[in-house]
Amino acid sequence: MKVILQQTMDGVGHLGDILDVSDGYARNFLLPRGKAMVASDKNVKSLEHLKRVTAEKAKKEKLEVESYAKTLTTAPVTIAVQVGKENKLFGSVTGKDIEDALAAQGHTVDRRKIQLGQPIKELGTFTVPVKLHRDVTATVSVHVVAKQEAAAEAKA
């Protein structure tokens, strides 16, 4: 019996696959549990249409995310932190700090998408990847400066 999988199943196939399975497996397991539907002409055409619509929607979404990634990449972020002797940071700069700095500039980014391997614990300029989409990653330039320097730059 030919069936169309409604969900991904390990060892069987992926969502949308058209499989030829035994009649008993289809009638007793796949169909009653809603894991598959019979691959009739109507269902196959419906599946193909759904795949086309989903692909177009994903393409538009990816283009929007890519344009947002370009604007995010061109916006450097400056974070002023308190330092002690020999420019040692009190604490560290985390993804939350970068998210707040981006929000202050008008960019909305979830901090879980900021891929900061380790918190930043020193002054300097760092490039931080931000994964906006499974295929799109933007890089944000983060400048970590001492609070005294930031105040002097603001007055100048």
DSSP-derived 3-state class of residue 40:
coil
pLDDT of residue 156: 54
CB 140 within 8 Å of CB 128: yes
What residue ranges of the chain are covered by domains with CATH 3.40.5.10?
A: 2-66
**6-19 pLDDT per residue, tens:** 988 888 888 888 99
**Separation of CA 4 from chain center:** 29
- What pairing do the DSSP bridges indicate for beta strands 137-146 and 2-5? unpaired
Architecture in CATH for domain 2-66: 3-Layer(aba) Sandwich (3.40)
State which residues of the chain have pLDDT below 70.
149-156
pLDDT of residue 133: 86
**37-65 pLDDT per residue, tens:** 999 999 999 989 988 998 999 899 999 99
What residue ranges of the chain are covered by domains with CATH 3.10.430.100?
A: 68-155
pLDDT of residue 57: 93
pLDDT of residue 75: 83
Averaged confidence pLDDT in the chain? 89
The CATH number of domain 68-155 is 3.10.430.100: yes
pLDDT of residue 142: 93
The amino acid sitting at 5 is: L
> Any residues with CB less than 8 A from the CB of 112 and at least 6 apart, and which?
95
pTM (predicted TM-score): 0.65
